[in-house]
Amino acid sequence: MTWNKDFKRPRISPNQAHARKSGHHRWIVRGVLFIVTASVLGVVLATTHKSLSVDPAASPSQATDSSDVISLTIPVPPTNRSDFIGPSPLGKAPEIDPWEHITVKKGDTLSTIFSRLEIHSQLHNITSLPEIKKLLKSIRPGDRLQILKDNGALAELIYHKSETERVHVKRDGDGYAASKISDPIEHRQAVAEATIEDSLFLAGKKAGISDNLIMQLAETFEYDIDFALDIRTGDHFRVIYQEQFANGKKLKDGPILAAQFINKGKTYYAFRYTNPKGETAYYSADGRSLKKAFIRTPVKFSRISSHFNPKRKHPILHKVRAHRGVDYAAPKGTPVKSTGEGKVTFVGWKKGYGKTIIVQHGSRYSTLYAHLSGFKKGIKRGRRVKQGQVIGFVGKTGSATGYHLHYEFRVNNVHKNPVTVKLPKAPPLPKSLKTDFMTQTAALKAQLDRYASLSGKD
């Protein structure tokens, strides 16, 4: 049995050709990569890699012609497709759907559902199946299931665990057998680009990409571009990303594989790279990290209630006492993040600081987080933490008048203003990985630059 899928690429009208020139055109699917992990009826069936080299860029005119239907034949082993039962897809006379379709309501259990369908006596026949045992614990309002009855008894049950995963129970001799089904997930590669006229989000919309992907794009370049202040009309981006599909339906966008952002005439690149340890990050074309070693602010959605000031009058002690950090006012319990990767060197009570954490980052830098209401579970002295990892929560322990985080940043043991201190870049890729990085990203770089020459942008 084979499935035929038509992946349509949008036709390009003269209007759109113009739009593309101004940058509001979306390029779809170049290489199609399938990473198919199919587990049908409990058996892992196939891992298929398909590369489709339809390369319109090789011949630019091809990008604008109308031979825009790519047909793929995906071999799928014979399976019981009864879980797709519904109105006949083959265009025959509509049949009566023999399945009961149920959406789990608040307070529902498999038991109440079986009672409603008058098959409660069969429940014990399936609850001993391991797949169902697991299911019983995870059943949630909004979940969908289908039940097929035969002479008043349960014949089949399909529980949709997610868009792509199901548990299928079927009569098997005197009892029942259950299996887990996972639909193959296709990873398609897509390209989009846009020129910014009003805002990054509107440009993203015009390019046909999701808000989620736009957020990812902004996060990728956030250390180089201030998206609140630096964006200008005429800025341009181009992004190569993955789209995940199952059963011909799009599940989600992302991750971004490579991107180019032209901001105020300056071109920035980002390439996603996973090192042999399995750690993934974005790097510039020559392997420099796009991240800085520190994020600027340890608490989100906060405001500065007291600045770094070596001559401040202390609000409680009423005498001149240097304020050697920054205070961020935030509600009690707001997560506090370690601003850089490092090692926890202190967790506990520290006089006026109250509950405090100190993190050492390499030999030169350390950060301090004070007046916490509590520490994140597992945060202990000697523990390594990542940049952005939650380590504690905003409180007002020690000498504090209201809920806030007191944050200090030291370089070679000298207090610096956390708001203005020049933050060091994260280390580049080690030499030993550079060749691997270049090999992995060369094709993406070529692709980004090829679009540049196609659209006349750069």
Could you list the residues that contact Zn ion (CB under 5 A)? 327, 406
Q: Tell the burial category of 265 from Cβ atoms under 10 Å away from its Cβ (0-12, 13-18, 19+).
A: exposed
**Helical ranges in 10-90 per DSSP H:** 14-21
Q: How far apart are CA 361 and CA 13, in angstroms?
A: 55
Return d(Cα 255, Cα 219) in angstroms, integer.
12
Distance of closest approach, residue 414 Cβ to Zn ion, in angstroms? 17
Q: Is 127:136 a contact under the CB 8 Å cutoff?
A: yes
Residue nearest Zn ion, Cβ-based: 406
Residue 35 CA to its chain's centroid (Å): 18
Residue 168 CB-half CA count within 13 A = 21
Q: How far is the CB of 371 from Zn ion (least distance, A)?
A: 8
d(CA 73, CA 391): 50
Nearest to Zn ion of 183, 327 (CB atom): 327
- Minimum distance from CB of 316 to Zn ion (Å)? 11
Q: Tell me the closest approach of the beta carbon of residue 349 to Zn ion, in angstroms.
A: 16
The nearest distance, CB 304 to Zn ion, in angstroms, is 10
Nearer to Zn ion, 75 or 331 (CB): 331
Q: Closer to Zn ion at the Cβ: 56 or 392?
A: 392
Of 26 and 406, which has the nearer Cβ to Zn ion? 406
Q: Which is nearer to Zn ion, 291 or 406 (CB)?
A: 406
Q: Please answer whether residues 375 and 334 qualify as being in contact, where contact means their C-beta atoms are separated by less than 8 angstroms.
A: no
Give 155 or 400: the residue with its C-beta nearer to Zn ion. 400
- Spatial separation of the C-alpha atoms in residues 415 and 423, rounded to whole Å: 14
- For residue 422, the minimal CB distance to Zn ion (Å) is 22
Structure tokens at 332: 């009690």
Q: Is 43 helix (H, G, I), strand (E, B) or coil?
A: strand
CB of 102 to Zn ion, least distance (A): 56
Question: Is the N-terminal amide bond of 255 cis, ω within 30° of 0?
Answer: yes
Q: Which is nearer to Zn ion, 406 or 410 (CB)?
A: 406
Tokens matching residue 265: 């005439």
